[in-house]
Amino acid sequence: MTEHPARRLLLVHAHPDDESINNGATMARYAAEGAQVTLVTCTLGERGEVIPPELAHLSGAALGQWRLGELRAAMRALGVTDFRLLGGAGRYGDSGMMGLPDNDDPHCFWQADLDEAAGHLVRVILEIRPQVLVTYDDNGGYGHPDHIQAHRVALRAAELAAGAGWEIPRICFNRVPRPVAEAAFARLEGDLPGLPFDKSAAVDDVPGVVGEERVAIEIDGTAYAAAKAAAMRAHATQIEVAEPYFALSNALAQPLFTTEYYEVVHGERTEGRAHDLFAGIEATA
C-alpha cells in the first residue's frame, strides 16, 4: 500500500493564478509543515487578459503555455511540488467570461461533460486520499463559468470517489468574512494615493465574501505573506502586486489577504473557529 503523508490537502482551481490569490498562504504553510499539498488546475486560462504591454501579443495556446510557466514559478514560491492539470495539459480550454460566445466553444471547460471531467479528478482523489478538499462555492466565487464548473466537478468527483472507496472527510469553500473585507478596503482608501493604482475595487468584487458566522476555519498566513506575494507576482500576465495590495487587469486595487478563510460544507465543524484545516481529522488514514 502507498505510504501517505499524515495530512493531505487537495485544491481545485479554474485557472493559473486563482490558487495564489485565494490560498497562497495556506498552501505555503502546509507545504512547509510537510503536508501533501496537491493542486489541480482545470484550464490554462488561455482567454485571460494580459497586463504587461510587452506580453500583450500572447493569446490562445501561446498564452496558455506562458501561464503554465507562471504556475510553475508560483508553485516554486509556495514550496508546492504536486500540481496537475485536469485531464492533462490542454484537455479543457478557458471558457471566457459569462455570457460571451467563448462559452459555446465545445472544447471549453464550461461545455465539459460533468462526469467525464469529474472522472479525471476522481483518479487524483483515489491516489492521494485527501482529508481536505478546497474549492469555490456554487457561484464560483464571482460567477465565472470556469469557476462554477470547477465547483461542480470538485463536488461530483468527491461524490464519485466516496462510492469508489475514499470519502473526503472535510470539504471547504474559499471565503472572506465581510467585516474583514470592509476593514481592509477602508485601509486601502487611505493608502490609495501612494499606490500605482488609480482606483479601488469594492468589497463585493472580492470572491466569496460572506457573514462571519459562515466562516469555520481561519488560517493565519502572516509567516507566509512573502511567499504568497511572490507567487502572485509570478502570475505577471494576470496580477500586479503592490503589497499589501494588488490589481487584476481591470487595474482596480484590492487587498492582498494573508489570513485566509474557509467555510466547511462537508464534514464536522469544530467548536468555535478553527485555525487548522485538519482540526479534528488528523487521525484519518
For the question of whether the overall pTM of this predicted structure is more than 0.85, the answer is: yes
Q: Would you say residue 46 lies in a domain?
A: yes
How many angstroms separate the CA atoms of 73 and 219, rounded? 23
8-state DSSP, 50: P
Residues in the annotated binding site: 15, 18, 147
pLDDT given for residue 282 in this prediction: 64
Q: Would you say residue 280 lies in a domain?
A: no
Domain extent, residue 54, equals 8-266
Q: Would you say residue 282 lies in a domain?
A: no
pLDDT tens digits along 237-280: 999 999 999 999 999 999 999 999 999 999 988 889 999 999 99
pLDDT tens digits along 200-218: 999 999 999 999 999 999 9
Q: Would you say residue 36 lies in a domain?
A: yes
Residues in the annotated binding site for Zn(2+): 15, 18, 147
The total number of structural domains in the chain stands at 1
pLDDT given for residue 133 in this prediction: 98
Q: Would you say residue 262 lies in a domain?
A: yes
pLDDT given for residue 268 in this prediction: 86
How far is C-alpha 239 from the geometric centre of its chain's CA atoms?
A: 14
How many angstroms separate the CA atoms of 265 and 269, rounded? 9
pLDDT given for residue 239 in this prediction: 98
How many angstroms separate the CA atoms of 250 and 197, rounded? 10
On whether the CB atoms of residues 78 and 24 are closer than 8 A, the answer is yes
pLDDT given for residue 270 in this prediction: 84
Q: Would you say residue 283 lies in a domain?
A: no
Q: Would you say residue 48 lies in a domain?
A: yes
How many angstroms separate the CA atoms of 37 and 26, rounded? 10
Which positions of the chain have pLDDT values less than 70?
Answer: 1-2, 282-285
pLDDT given for residue 246 in this prediction: 98
pLDDT given for residue 1 in this prediction: 47
CATH code of 58's domain:
3.40.50.10320
Q: Would you say residue 275 lies in a domain?
A: no
